[in-house]
Structure 1
Amino acid sequence: MDNKKTEFTFSIDTLSIIELIEGIDENENKDLEKTEVQKNEEELEELIHHVLSLDKNNQQQEPELKKMVLEKKEGKNFLTFHMNYPVFVPGDTISLNDGLYTNDPDTNYANFISFEYEGATGTSVLQGKERTWTILLTENQEEQSPDGEVQPGGDQSAPDQEQPEAAPIVETSTSSWFSFFKLGMLHILTGYDHLLFLLALLLRKQTFKQYAAIITSFTIAHSITISLAVLGVITLPSRFVESVIAFSIVYVALENIFRKEIRHRWGLTFLFGLIHGLGFANILKEMNIPKSDLALALVNFNIGIEVVQLALVLLVLPLLTYMFKLKSSGLIIKAVSIIVAALGGFWLIERIFS
């Protein structure tokens, strides 16, 4: 780093690249090899220049691509682009425009942004339809807002900027807390295995106290392991975590079918919830969030998950209450549980042998 350039890195998972560039995966192994990257350097560079732009005062800046590096993060393969842009100074307005997947409204793609300038850091997430992030560099540390929303995920772009004798910039105002709140909401809504597990837990008739204990234990358990995993205290192979999540769905569904009485399900929920928390944490671990922003990201990511989870429970419980009054409720519970077990079993086999 020096006062003549702005360093910028952008990481994208290799599966997304295979989706975006037809035929790049020549050996069709659903991954990118070093030789495939080298052979398609020009097309890869053109893709990034076409869909990703960094503007200064509404004028697009031309980057200098330094290198492309294949790397692994949390069991997923990424291609990282290292680029240099002209130096930015106080008074400049900088906008990052991410055009990846803008024409695909159903995508789970999210882009985590972090920046550092003279020791000051900031974060945000681009996701959904909002793909622009903006900051104003100031000498008096005033804030001005990013239009930003991450993740899913989990791709990264990180402009790092230095200019001697300039005061640190501070991240702008569409607060990053809301970005991570939305990321948590999106993550649970698209986490079909987590939702199926929750449905299986509620499917058998229980008292309100039992339902409350189940939801509380699941919330506490996955909150604990999300935090510990992101902080690096707990690390387990992604394949193992995802396989156990699938197994938890099968186990609870089979309980619904074969057990005559359901008691103390909160304890089972807590144990499996610990593993589900490790699954939730993967997207945050891929982001390499700066330690200074980690607490804010964790809290608001968790709140986003809990808001959606609570809303879904409040929606499902009245429907289940009505179903329990039907004479055919036993058959319905068994039929739904068989479907849930089959889906969980399919995911379990797929995740063990993929």
Structure 2
Amino acid sequence: MLRRFLTVAALGVAAAATVLLSAAPALAHGFSSTVYVDVTAGDAGRVRTTVELEYDLFIVSAADYESDDPLFRAGTDAFEAEDAVAMGAALNAHRESAVRYVTERFGISSDETCTGAPSGDFTMGAREGVPYATMLLDWTCPPGGDAHEVRSALFPDTETYVKGVKTIVTYALDGRTGSAALDASAPTFSTGQSWQHRFGEFFLLGAEHLLTGTDHILFLLALIAGSRRLREIVLAATAFTVAHSVTFMLAALGLVDVPARVVEPVIALSIAVVAGWNLIAAYFDRPDNNGRLGVVFLFGLVHGLGFAGALGIDEAFSWTLLWSLLVFNVGIETVQLSVIALVFPLLIVLRRRSPRAGRWATGIVSAGVSVMGLIWFGQRLLEG
């Protein structure tokens, strides 16, 4: 039995290595990026926007856009900066070029196009452990109009650096508050748009986030592989859903704040632990479902923090924001249930027709997922 266990583990390692070589291991959510924008009413009819952009992507894109600017090219201080102070100083040294890149692709309009101007210097921060640059833009808009339109075409696919960039907008403007998700298929939104349209965007955003979040998908596969009966996967999925829903809402509303450098490694570790639990239970043939549910619930709490990080919303409570977050969560759950409905019946059929093949499949999947989780865990710890 030990020999079979080791063989399964070895095959799992090989499977994990194959996947690892074909994907970016530390970037579990793929080659994409998210822009965060906060829009508020300013003084004298102006509109103020706070725009946060991934620093490395911003530098590469702006340098390519400003290729005629010899000061803004590869090898300059902007690319060589290694800490927040140096990064901020580099951006401010190339302020004109950096601002021009943003204002060419991002804008506010009312009845007519508003005119934007920077306010203050670039500052640096981080989201999910990734350096982000923050800039303030004040917009002067023509009088009249009861709604404003926000347009974002930042980091388009045509630049070829990333694909499927999302711009998450929160706003308190025109007597309305809320949030919206913009991308290449829906690059604009109006503060006067219907709630159905806005919520539809967040449903799709939640669904896409789970589908493109390799770590969350692998965690779900580990849950499925370790479940022998429908009741077990239902209980495990319910425990995970309840747990991540709690922390997702608390974190997204700004009531809980845990650094990404803590959340991301623990998410990776959760994948390894749950998958390893399956292997141990299979070896001793003594599944501990109650203990497994407790582990799943605890790690579900951490995954909820990861889901919230995808939105980056930490504004004060509002009913519009709450409903947007709930719809985002429903999008996540819809994909999760779809994956379970697709994969679990296939595993059950395999186990019934060939119990030995079913055990091997479970072992290989669990071993491969566990190894990938441990590799991600180590990489994320090293990356801080």
Find out whether 1:311 has 2:338 as its counterpart.
yes
What is the distance in 1 between the residues matched to 2:140 and 2:150? 14
Q: CA distance change for structure 1 residues 257 and 69 in 2, over 3 Å: closer, same or farther?
A: same
Alignment partner of 1:320: what SS?
Answer: helix
Deviation at 1:73, TM superposition (A): 5.0
Find out whether 1:97 has 2:122 as its counterpart.
no
Q: 1:346 aligns with which of 375, 378, 381?
A: 375
2:105 aligns to what? 51
Q: CA RMSD in A?
A: 2.6
1:337 aligns to what? 366
What is the distance in 2 between the residues matched to 1:192 and 1:202? 15
Find out whether 1:270 has 2:315 as its counterpart.
no
Q: CA distance change for structure 1 residues 207 and 68 in 2, over 3 Å: closer, same or farther?
A: same
Structure 2 regions of 5+ residues with no counterpart? Answer: 1-41, 64-73
Deviation at 1:351, TM superposition (A): 0.7
TM-score between both structures, scaled by the size of structure 1: 0.80
Letter in 1 for 2:170: S
1:129 aligns to what? 185
8 Å CA contact 1:51, 1:99 repeated in 2: yes
8 Å CA contact 1:218, 1:273 repeated in 2: yes
Q: CA distance change for structure 1 residues 45 and 118 in 2, over 3 Å: closer, same or farther?
A: closer
Q: CA distance change for structure 1 residues 115 and 233 in 2, over 3 Å: closer, same or farther?
A: closer
- Deviations along 1:174-225, one digit per CA (max 9) or x if unpaired, are 5432232222112211211011011011113511111111111111111111
What is the distance in 2 between the residues matched to 1:329 and 1:29? 49
Deviation at 1:251, TM superposition (A): 1.3
2:125 aligns to what? 72
Q: Report the identity percentage.
A: 28
Query: Superposition pairs for residues 132-281 of structure 1, below 5 Å?
Result: 132-135=188-191, 144-145=192-193, 172-259=194-281, 260-264=285-289, 265-281=292-308
8 Å CA contact 1:206, 1:262 repeated in 2: no
Q: CA distance change for structure 1 residues 262 and 128 in 2, over 3 Å: closer, same or farther?
A: farther
- Deviations along 1:309-330, one digit per CA (max 9) or x if unpaired, are 1111101112212332334232
2:55 aligns to what? 14
Alignment partner of 1:21: what SS?
Answer: helix
8 Å CA contact 1:68, 1:79 repeated in 2: no
Letter in 2 for 1:2: D
221-230 or 126-135: bigger deviation: 126-135
TM-score between both structures, scaled by the size of structure 2: 0.74
What is the distance in 2 between the residues matched to 1:317 and 1:128? 34
Query: How many residue pairs align between the two structures?
Result: 318
Find out whether 1:3 has 2:56 as its counterpart.
no
Q: CA distance change for structure 1 residues 92 and 252 in 2, over 3 Å: closer, same or farther?
A: closer
Alignment partner of 1:67: what SS?
Answer: coil
Q: CA distance change for structure 1 residues 256 and 98 in 2, over 3 Å: closer, same or farther?
A: same
What is the distance in 2 between the residues matched to 1:310 and 1:126? 25
1:168 aligns to what? none
